[in-house]
C-alpha cells in the first residue's frame, strides 16, 4: 500500500474523472483524477455523499430532485453541483458493486474497441466501461438533459404569481 496514493477527505472534486470499486483488504474505491489515480478506504457512496454535502445538499436529495423532474427511477445521474457542471453517470445500479461513476465534464468521447466500450477523457486517458454502448449513450443523454435543466433553472427562475408564490409545476 506504500506505492498507492490514499486520500481520505475531499476525494471527489471538479478534477475527478471517474470512480470505481477497488477490491483490496483496506481500500474500497479507485479514483481517476486529472492529477493521477488515488484510492480511498471509503465506499463510492460515501465519497459521493461527501461531495454532495460540500455543496450543501445530500446524495438522496439530489437523486430525489432528478427523479421528480425527469422520472429517472433507475441509474439516475447524480448532479452534485449544476453550477460547476459536476455530474456523475452510473454505468449500472449504484447498489451493484461493479457500478462505475463517470464524471461528465471530462468525457471527450466514448467508443467500442475490440468489442469493449471505452470512455476517452479530455486528457487522452481511457477507461474500460462495464456497460453497453446503448446504456452509456442513454446515461450520457440523461445526464446532459439534467445538467442543462438544473443549470438553467436558476437563471430562468420559477414562474410566480402576482403575490410572489411559485407556479412552477415541477415543485408540485
Q: What are the extents of the domains in the chain?
A: 16-153
Per-residue confidence at 172, pLDDT binned at 50, 70, 90?
Answer: very low
CA-based nearest residue to 52, from 40, 62, 42: 62
Q: Any idea what DSSP says for residue 166? A: B
Estimate the share of the chain in helix, then strand, then coil, as percent rounded to the nearest 5: 30, 25, 40
Are the CB atoms for 97 and 28 separated by under 8 Å? no
Pull the grid cell for residue 12.
471527489
CA-based nearest residue to 67, from 56, 58, 78, 57: 78
Q: Taking the model in full, what pTM does it have?
A: 0.86
Pull the grid cell for residue 3.
506505492
The alpha carbon dihedral of 109, 111, 116, 120 has a sign of negative
| Res 154: pLDDT | 64
| Res 91: pLDDT | 97
Query: What is the residue whose three cell numbers read 470505481?
Result: 20
What is the average pLDDT across 79-108?
94
Half-sphere exposure of 136 (CA within 13 A, CB side): 22
Cα separation, 79 vs 9, in Å, equals 20
Query: In a 3-state reduction of DSSP, which class is residue 90?
Result: strand
Looking at the predicted structure, is the pLDDT value of residue 1 above 70? Answer: no
Half-sphere exposure of 156 (CA within 13 A, CB side): 10
Torsion of CA 2, 4, 41, 28, to 10 degrees: -130
pLDDT tens digits along 97-112: 899 999 999 999 999 9
| Res 149: pLDDT | 87
Amino acid at each position: 500500500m506504500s506505492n498507492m496514493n490514499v486520500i481520505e477527505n475531499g476525494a471527489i472534486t471538479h478534477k475527478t474523472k471517474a470512480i470505481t470499486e477497488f477490491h483490496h483488504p483496506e481500500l474500497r474505491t479507485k479514483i481517476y483524477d486529472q492529477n493521477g489515480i488515488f484510492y480511498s478506504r471509503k465506499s463510492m457512496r460515501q465519497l459521493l455523499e461527501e461531495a454532495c454535502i460540500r455543496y450543501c445538499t445530500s446524495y438522496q436529495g439530489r437523486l430525489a430532485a432528478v427523479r421528480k423532474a425527469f422520472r429517472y427511477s433507475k441509474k439516475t445521474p447524480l448532479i452534485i453541483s449544476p453550477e460547476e457542471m459536476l455530474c456523475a453517470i452510473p454505468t449500472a445500479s449504484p447498489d451493484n458493486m461493479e457500478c462505475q461513476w463517470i464524471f461528465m465534464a471530462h468525457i471527450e468521447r466514448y467508443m467500442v474497441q475490440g468489442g469493449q466500450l471505452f470512455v476517452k477523457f479530455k486528457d487522452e486517458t481511457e477507461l474500460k466501461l462495464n456497460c453497453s454502448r446503448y446504456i452509456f449513450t442513454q446515461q450520457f443523454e440523461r445526464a446532459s438533459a439534467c445538467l442543462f435543466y438544473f443549470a438553467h433553472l436558476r437563471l430562468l427562475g420559477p414562474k410566480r404569481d402576482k403575490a410572489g408564490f411559485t407556479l412552477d409545476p415541477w415543485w408540485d
